Structure 1
Amino acid sequence: MLKLTGRIAVGVVSLLVLTGTGIASTMLTQLTSGLSTSDALDSTGPKSTGKDQNILLIGLDSRKDQDGNQLPPEILDQLHAGDGTEGGYNTNTLILMHIPGDGGKAAAVSIPRDDYVPVQGIPGYPNAKIKEAYGLAKFYAERDLAKQGITGAELEHKGREAGRKKTLETVRNFLDVPIDRFAEINLAGFYDLATALGGVEVCLNHAVKDRYSGADFPAGRQTLNGSQALAFVRQRHGLDNGDLDRTHRQQAFIASAAHKLRSAGTFTDLGKLQDLVDTAKKDVVISAGWDVLSFAQQAQSLTGGNLVFTTLPIAGFQKVNGQDVNKVDVEQVRTAVRTAFGMVTPPTTPQVYASATIDVRNATGQRGLPAAVTQALSPYGFRAGAMESAASGKSSIAYGPGAKTDAATAATLLGGLPVVADSRVPGGHVRILLGAGYVLPAALGPHGADAPPGSRSATASSESRSTGDPEPPAYGSQGAAVDGGGIPCVN
């Protein structure tokens, strides 16, 4: 089954980046008037405060157009997408983008598609992979609609609306943050975008060859055409971290496509510009009421590389009803989102330096993590103590006599960990337990989630434990962040 992870780039580049690059208002009006819109977003749901906006980008794994018609065979051939019977309506790409109203740095978090989460109102499915919410809701909605005599394009449109509503509801409940807008892109849209751009430059850390996706590329920087770019974002076989590496490729593609838009004179070439507008009209659906003209000012923060992508942490892997799924720690995921979006702000210049000694116990199975935590906290006055492994446990902080204030400071810096007093902890000591899937917040600088690819803070052993479910293969369970400012190198 095709697992396309880069197709939401049309929504980002053809719509968001395009609006923020100073394009003429007449072209924006033309773009807005021609886009398909959806009423799936509940107007009564929670909204971001002030001028902040959270935008969910949905990549739909479908070989059909908006009316439910099969894509032409010549397009499927170019996409290496089989005969059209594969795939379905999984949302194999889900990215929540936060654009601050004050023009500050934008942040985007990718939700791993196999995260096993609660879903509501789907018969027989109290939980499911988050990517399945769309297709399951669509199936059951269409079953009921068909009994009413609804068929054809109308059935497809209403079924997709049900899928969008369920996806928005599931993501919002999982992350516990508002969703203000959304953009959905289908399978053909990715190919159309890459073709309209005349190719996109990417960078690989290693040479790859994969018969499943058709990826066959050397290491280093290279320009890929539409078909090649699709293979680049499809590949998961043969990669060190499987789907997680593929998620990083999706992020890298968006960054690279935006970089080309900024630097290749696309906006002075009316032919290319019209191709991008036509691509967005054909392949993108946006939430109703989205005032693109007003949004253009905020979207400018996306065009100067002022964007960082991170991938939300997972707590491990397991099998449920024969399916491989991602275990998630909901509170850890929500803390990661709030930290990425600036809702949790660790102090960067403390008024009073800490003096406690920190002892770090590591239950993640990731080598080097205790040292990274110790090094990240040292600028705040914390002293290095013992570092040892732990069998299990959730991330938390315990403190001994006289260390309560320092424990609270460490907890905030490390992403909002729970704090308890413990008489077994020596006086003046703070004991930090790192549970499975823990990741350092990006705000802690080069030791955190924005460590450069290939650094010790960005990678860890991919060895699984000998017993129980395997641990995530990348550092912090999601690997390093991807900088949206240029052409990042990825696996």
Structure 2
Amino acid sequence: MLRALLWLSSAFALIACGVTHFAYRSLTDGLTTSDALGAIKKNTPPHLDNSVNLLLIGLDSRKDMNGNDLPKQFVEDQLHAGSSKIGYYNTNTLILLHIPADGGRVTAFSIPRDDYVRTLNGDGSSQGEYKIKEAYANAYTGARGRLAAQGFKDSELESKSRDAGREATLATVQDFTGVPIDHFAEVNLLGFYDIAKVLQPITVCLKHPVKDRYSGADFPAGKQQLNAKQSLAFVRQRHGLDAGDLDRTRRQQAFIASVTHQLQSQGVWGDLSKLQGLFNVVKKDVVLDSSWNVLDFAQQAPNLTGGNVEFHTLPITGFATRQGEAVNLVDPGTIKTIVQQAFGPGSPAKPDKDKKPSATVAVSNGNGITGLAEKTSELLAEAGYTTGQTGNATPQEHTTVTYGDGAQQAADDIAARLKASSPMHSSSVQSGHVQVTLGRDYTPPKAQASSGTDAAPSHTPSTLPKSSGPTVEGGIPCVN
């Protein structure tokens, strides 16, 4: 739900390019800010360098800034989001952005909302183990009861309770990733809708047609333009997608990429009326941290546009049931290593776009089609990967990709080529290696042999797509 910050931050670039002080003040006066970052400062991890880390927070709340329910008809008809009672104060979108100190490509990590982690309050005390999305709601609920007992009411009670939720989310994400957060922005469903309304139509691309009664998504395959209502359905859909919430995360990433590409290519930054419309929405629906100096940030904002953001989803190790709910299992040590390596001084500020990921890839056949592991291995070899072992595996429904240390980029590329769900790190996979296990959902590019064990195939599939990550149609990422 956080495209808002990307659009906002890009708009700041215009300020640096000559907007008068008066125009700047008229755009930015009235922004809603929060001191939540200052409250958690004593427990903030040390900076690895002079880069800037931003946390984008998307609330699933169907309430306005003062805690009032949004109009029932609007929630049901325009947001297609069910009752105003649904969603509460869960953070269904968390994206951590890293802007290098000396420029270059921005790295963004999406944190799956159902990751089961140790959640913290703003003072560093433990809430226990919950889904990461629940840190905000847990702190909000506890603070609201205490503050109401102290006599706080109405909008002040809501504001202070939400600040407790923000502090908890910031503290939890810092603890989970091991890196400091310098700035944050928060937006809810209404904020996303209002911003999409200013920018509509938004161009997106789907690999397959979808129809989902829960989110209201009803779209054909291919490139298409969406209005605000359709845009919200696009980023909210998870039912009917192969990887569920993980595919929804890819939708959110693709939407950000599409919008920033659109704004860059259409020269929106020269349209003051649209900028004013964006800022009016931001003032109404978005919360920024109070330490954010937008003039300083303006010089870094251009890195967020023009396709200069590289998206990743933090890996999970599996699925389980905890406290009666389905959760994602994670390895906190691995998460810290991945994020700190990507954000640290040793990470390249300007990676070589033409450099191919490398890894040794083993392929096991859990699909049941004769010769599929060997043929898939050959196709991956054509794409530049080193051939590992091939063989058979216990039949399984879905194709999985796991990887060892140092092989995440290769695993992301391979998962995209095979149309598999997000890859997962595994300590059982050797460093620099990727393990692919083909499931029944994998279909080679051309007709395949009859069912059986892994023998020589009777048909030769064509080469897999050469792109790494989602298919791109004219700068617009194509996703499930």
TM-score by length of 2: 0.76
Q: Is the 8 A contact 1:40 1:164 kept in 2?
A: yes
Q: Structure 1 residues 385 and 208 mapped into 2: Cα distance closer, same or farther (>3 Å)? A: closer
2:5 aligned residue (3, 6, 11): 11
CA distance in 2, matches of 1:253, 1:233: 7
> Which position in structure 1 is the counterpart of 2:355?
none
CA distance in 1, matches of 2:281, 2:28: 13
Q: Is the 8 A contact 2:57 2:91 kept in 1?
A: yes
2:19 aligned residue (19, 24, 37): 24
Identity in percent: 49
CA distance in 2, matches of 1:297, 1:376: 42
Q: Is the 8 A contact 1:20 1:299 kept in 2?
A: yes
Q: Structure 1 residues 78 and 155 mapped into 2: Cα distance closer, same or farther (>3 Å)? A: same
CA distance in 2, matches of 1:328, 1:102: 32
Q: Structure 1 residues 203 and 174 mapped into 2: Cα distance closer, same or farther (>3 Å)? A: same
Query: What amino acid does structure 2 have at the position aligned with 1:146?
Result: A
What's the offset of the Cα at 1:48?
A: 3.0
Q: Is the 8 A contact 2:99 2:300 kept in 1?
A: yes
Q: Is the 8 A contact 1:63 1:84 kept in 2?
A: yes
CA distance in 2, matches of 1:485, 1:97: 24
> Which position in structure 1 is the counterpart of 2:130?
128
> Which position in structure 2 is the counterpart of 1:416?
none
Any idea what the Cα deviations from partners look like across 1:29-52, whole Å, max 9, x if unmatched?
Answer: 434332111111134433534430
CA distance in 2, matches of 1:270, 1:89: 34
CA distance in 2, matches of 1:483, 1:55: 26
Q: Structure 1 residues 222 and 437 mapped into 2: Cα distance closer, same or farther (>3 Å)? A: same
Q: Structure 1 residues 268 and 307 mapped into 2: Cα distance closer, same or farther (>3 Å)? A: same
Runs of 5+ unmatched residues, structure 2? 353-358, 395-399, 423-435, 442-467
> Which position in structure 2 is the counterpart of 1:353?
none
Q: Structure 1 residues 56 and 124 mapped into 2: Cα distance closer, same or farther (>3 Å)? A: closer
> Which position in structure 1 is the counterpart of 2:403?
438
Q: Is the 8 A contact 1:25 1:293 kept in 2?
A: no
Query: What amino acid does structure 2 have at the position aligned with 1:20?
Result: A
> Which position in structure 2 is the counterpart of 1:48?
47
2:476 aligned residue (456, 464, 487): 487
CA distance in 1, matches of 2:383, 2:219: 40
Query: What amino acid does structure 1 have at the position aligned with 2:57?
Result: I
Q: Is the 8 A contact 1:313 1:328 kept in 2?
A: yes
Pair 1:211 & 2:176 matched: no
CA distance in 2, matches of 1:145, 1:326: 33
CA distance in 2, matches of 1:274, 1:75: 24
Query: What amino acid does structure 2 have at the position aligned with 1:248?
Result: R
CA distance in 2, matches of 1:127, 1:184: 23
CA distance in 2, matches of 1:452, 1:100: 27
What's the offset of the Cα at 1:230?
A: 0.7
Please say which of residues 255-264 and 54-63 is displaced more in the overlay: 255-264
Q: Structure 1 residues 456 and 102 mapped into 2: Cα distance closer, same or farther (>3 Å)? A: same
What's the offset of the Cα at 1:452?
A: 8.4
Q: Structure 1 residues 203 and 359 mapped into 2: Cα distance closer, same or farther (>3 Å)? A: closer
What's the offset of the Cα at 1:487?
A: 1.3
Please say which of residues 66-75 and 111-120 is displaced more in the overlay: 66-75
The equivalences for 1:406-425 within 5 A come to none
CA distance in 2, matches of 1:441, 1:228: 39
Q: Structure 1 residues 388 and 179 mapped into 2: Cα distance closer, same or farther (>3 Å)? A: farther
CA distance in 2, matches of 1:344, 1:106: 15
Q: Structure 1 residues 307 and 241 mapped into 2: Cα distance closer, same or farther (>3 Å)? A: same
Q: Structure 1 residues 462 and 83 mapped into 2: Cα distance closer, same or farther (>3 Å)? A: same
Q: Is the 8 A contact 1:138 1:160 kept in 2?
A: yes
Q: Is the 8 A contact 1:442 1:450 kept in 2?
A: no
- When the two chains are superposed, the root-mean-square deviation of aligned CA atoms in Å is 3.7
Q: Structure 1 residues 456 and 81 mapped into 2: Cα distance closer, same or farther (>3 Å)? A: closer
1:193 aligned residue (189, 192, 195): 195
1:278 aligned residue (277, 280, 295): 280
Runs of 5+ unmatched residues, structure 1? 1-6, 350-357, 392-434, 465-478
CA distance in 1, matches of 2:373, 2:118: 33
> Which position in structure 1 is the counterpart of 2:59?
60
What's the offset of the Cα at 1:65?
A: 1.2
Q: Is the 8 A contact 2:364 2:390 kept in 1?
A: no
CA distance in 1, matches of 2:136, 2:184: 14
Query: What amino acid does structure 1 have at the position aligned with 2:264?
Result: R
Pair 1:252 & 2:241 matched: no
Q: Is the 8 A contact 2:361 2:388 kept in 1?
A: yes
Q: Structure 1 residues 197 and 267 mapped into 2: Cα distance closer, same or farther (>3 Å)? A: same
Q: Is the 8 A contact 2:91 2:113 kept in 1?
A: yes
CA distance in 2, matches of 1:142, 1:149: 11
Report the secondary structure of 2:88's partner residue: coil
Q: Is the 8 A contact 2:141 2:161 kept in 1?
A: yes
CA distance in 2, matches of 1:292, 1:95: 20
Query: What amino acid does structure 1 have at the position aligned with 2:34?
Result: S
Q: Is the 8 A contact 1:54 1:97 kept in 2?
A: yes
Q: Structure 1 residues 212 and 439 mapped into 2: Cα distance closer, same or farther (>3 Å)? A: farther
Q: Structure 1 residues 329 and 106 mapped into 2: Cα distance closer, same or farther (>3 Å)? A: same
Pair 1:69 & 2:64 matched: no
Any idea what the Cα deviations from partners look like across 1:1-30, whole Å, max 9, x if unmatched?
Answer: xxxxxx1111221x2222235472544443
The equivalences for 1:30-429 within 5 A come to 30-41=26-37, 42-44=40-42, 45-76=44-75, 77-120=77-120, 125-341=127-343, 345=347, 386=389
CA distance in 2, matches of 1:57, 1:488: 21
Q: Is the 8 A contact 1:316 1:437 kept in 2?
A: no
What's the offset of the Cα at 1:263?
A: 2.2
Q: Structure 1 residues 482 and 326 mapped into 2: Cα distance closer, same or farther (>3 Å)? A: farther
What's the offset of the Cα at 1:145?
A: 1.0
Query: What amino acid does structure 1 have at the position aligned with 2:55?
Result: L
CA distance in 2, matches of 1:55, 1:362: 38
Q: Is the 8 A contact 1:255 1:483 kept in 2?
A: no
CA distance in 1, matches of 2:9, 2:176: 25
What's the offset of the Cα at 1:359?
A: 8.5
